[in-house]
Amino acid sequence: MNYQISPSLMCLDMMKVPEQLSFLDEKADMFHVDIMDGHYVKNIALSVDFVRQIKPYTTIPIDIHLMVAEPMDFIDNLIEAGADSISVHAEVISSYAFRLINHVRNSGKKVGIVLNPATPIEVLNNYAHLVDKVTVMTVDPGYAGQPFIPEMVEKIKKLKQFREEGNYQFLIEVDGSCNKNTYNLLLNAGAEVLIMGSSGLLKKDIPLSDTWQIMQNDIVQSLSA
């Protein structure tokens, strides 16, 4: 079974960013960068400047997850900073979804849509053919380390069916509680990109080389169970 790993850079040890970034750049498929504005979610995370600073030291795609109230305010600066793909929440773009999606696409970047746990798949109906990735949140957005919402397994299955019936091309990504307790459920439901944070990979008390190997072993074992 094919899958991609996208480490959440918000969960890096900020005292070891250069060495952890270098290690992950050789192992992962893309980098996941959370940007929060303190309005859409009550938290502040990474920034456009962070993307600009790490870009020269990365060879894999930088994938932005915008948890902000006004994503259009960030798009052009992120493109200039070096973002390779930008994902936005469906809940905040209803009045300008096509303008935003087409602007990102016309800039030569990939675009994704993020669905909160309570957001139905049907919001994708009119623009699913235009997006490169759909992210299913398996926790409420805004904070790392939250408990997994089990109802999202069925949602991932429905999203995969939705893609097949519409002959869409987007990847199915999962954000939240990707770890040894959920790998089997998520991958067998149809997940193709796993965002790896504090529960599955980035643990401050264990060397990253060790947690990477543990993660890979856990995934292999879960798929053979």
Active site residues: 34, 175
* Residues 177/147, Cβ–Cβ less than 8 Å: yes
The end-to-end CA distance of the chain, in Å, is 13
* Cβ neighbours around 182 below 10 Å, total: 23
Cα–Cα distance measured from residue 68 to residue 58, given in angstroms and rounded to the nearest whole number: 25
> What residue ranges in the chain does DSSP mark as E strands?
4-7, 31-36, 62-67, 85-89, 110-115, 133-137, 171-175, 193-196
Could you tell me the sign of the dihedral formed by the alpha carbons of 166, 183, 3, 225, in that order? negative
| Residue appearing with tokens 């996941």 | 32
Which residues contact residue 217 at a Cβ distance below 8 angstroms, ignoring those fewer than 6 apart? none
Q: Which helix (H) or strand (E) holds 155?
A: helix 152-166
